Amino acid sequence: MNLRASLKMLGPLVALLVVYFGFGISEPAMFNRTVIINILSQSVIVGIAAVGMTLIIISGGIDLSVGSIIAWTGVIAAFLIDQSLSPILVFLTAILCGGLCGFLNGSLSIWLRLMPFIVTLGTMQIYRGSAKIFTGGTPINLPFDETRYQLWMGGTGFPYGIFLLLVICIFTSWILHYTRFGRHAIAIGSSPATARLCGIPVLRTQIFVYVIGGAMAGLAAMMNVAKSSQGDPTTALGLELDIIAAVVLGGARLTGGQGSVIGAVIGALLMTCIRTGCVMHGIPTPWTEVITGIIIIIAVVVDRLRQRHTLC
């Protein structure tokens, strides 16, 4: 199990190193401390959300509403900060709000017997619209003298957000592999019918998976607010695709049963690394998009080929 898990991570890690050193050889500034911090901190938002998404995808689901949850929770958090609520309460509310959104996603797909793809396609619009209604469409700026949140995503040293991502990543990976709940989630993703026959509480586990996914999106929203000092109802548009791409790059199968939390974080780092590398090289933005797309496809194909050889 452990050998397999670490093998699973090896693929994305190799891809990350190849891309990073590839850019680094022609532009040594890539090895600077600042650039490394940039890559790490720009991966925090996608990374945290991708950890939650990995759980969801492993259990056979999907959450398209994650970008909207980040926007919706973000505007609520910014509103509360504006009302000078203490940071701990703001963080808790954001996690709770994200968790509730996740609960709605999970319970709707179960009670209405709809595919999560369809349910979250709907809630994606609902959460996004709610954010726009709540703010009247314009971003809520944090008070200009509010600096407590900036340390999470900025400041001179390593932003706290990076450590948060690390802790979440390790903790969730442990949950997935060493707790009953984690194993249940994997079993449900592999075969829901078998899981049910084995006496696994399928519905409860599935809902809980979505709640965790939503809570992670809530934390990602806090990081987004901390980063841009505002709650923007249009932020994170299309971010769900970046997040899903990170999870897939990390070795997950969209059909469920397989995936790696650490791999997903590496996937997020890989995409940020490409973006940062392209800017550092002065490569025009449209080319960055093409390059990102090509690397995503190559990385996943290589990973699949390698798995066929080593595991089967």
Partner 1 sequence: MRIFHLTKIASLSAICALGLGCNSTTKDEKRTRIVMIPKGTTHLFWKSVETGAKQAAKEHDIDLTFIGPQREDDRSQQIDLVTNQAQKNDAVVLAPLDRVALRGVALQVAQMGKPVVIIDSSLADSDSFITSYIATDNREAGRMAARKIAELLDGNGHVAMMRYLQGSASTEQREEGFLEEIKKHPSISVVSSEQYAGATASQAQDTATNLLTRFTRDGKLTIDGIFTSNQSSTYGMLQSLRAMSHAGNVKFIGFDGDASFIDAIKKKEMQGTLLQDPARMGYLGIKVAYAKLKGEPYEAIIDTGATMLTLENLEQPDIADLIQSQVP
Q: Please give the residue ranges that form the binding site for partner 1 (CB under 8 A).
A: 29, 32, 34-35, 38, 42, 128, 132, 137-139, 141, 144, 150, 153-156, 224, 227-230, 232-237, 275-276, 279-280, 282-286
Question: If we measure between CA atoms, which residue out of 219, 220, 222, 77 comes closest to residue 135?
Answer: 77
Q: How far is the CB of 99 from partner 1 (least distance, A)?
A: 22
Q: How far is the CB of 300 from partner 1 (least distance, A)?
A: 24
222 CB-near residues (< 8 Å, 6+ apart): 73, 74, 77, 90, 91, 94, 149, 152
Nearer to partner 1, 216 or 261 (CB): 216
Residue 248 CB-half CA count within 13 A: 19
Q: How far is the CB of 147 from partner 1 (least distance, A)?
A: 10
With beta carbons less than 8 A apart as the criterion, state whether 310 and 7 touch. Answer: yes
Kind plus residue range of the DSSP H or E element containing 82: helix 66-82
CA dihedral (40, 45, 46, 48) in degrees, to 10, reads 90
Nearer to partner 1, 59 or 272 (CB): 272
With beta carbons less than 8 A apart as the criterion, state whether 243 and 68 touch. Answer: no
Nearer to partner 1, 58 or 236 (CB): 236
Rounded CA-CA distance 102/113 in Å is 16
With beta carbons less than 8 A apart as the criterion, state whether 58 and 212 touch. Answer: no
Q: How far is the CB of 128 from partner 1 (least distance, A)?
A: 8
Structure tokens that stand for 141 in this block? 């700026």
Q: How far is the CB of 212 from partner 1 (least distance, A)?
A: 24
With beta carbons less than 8 A apart as the criterion, state whether 188 and 40 touch. Answer: no
Beta bridge partners of residue 140, listed in sequence order = 231
Nearer to partner 1, 65 or 109 (CB): 65
Nearer to partner 1, 122 or 201 (CB): 122
Q: How far is the CB of 71 from partner 1 (least distance, A)?
A: 10
Rounded CA-CA distance 246/162 in Å is 17
Q: How far is the CB of 24 from partner 1 (least distance, A)?
A: 14
Nearer to partner 1, 173 or 276 (CB): 276
Nearer to partner 1, 213 or 233 (CB): 233
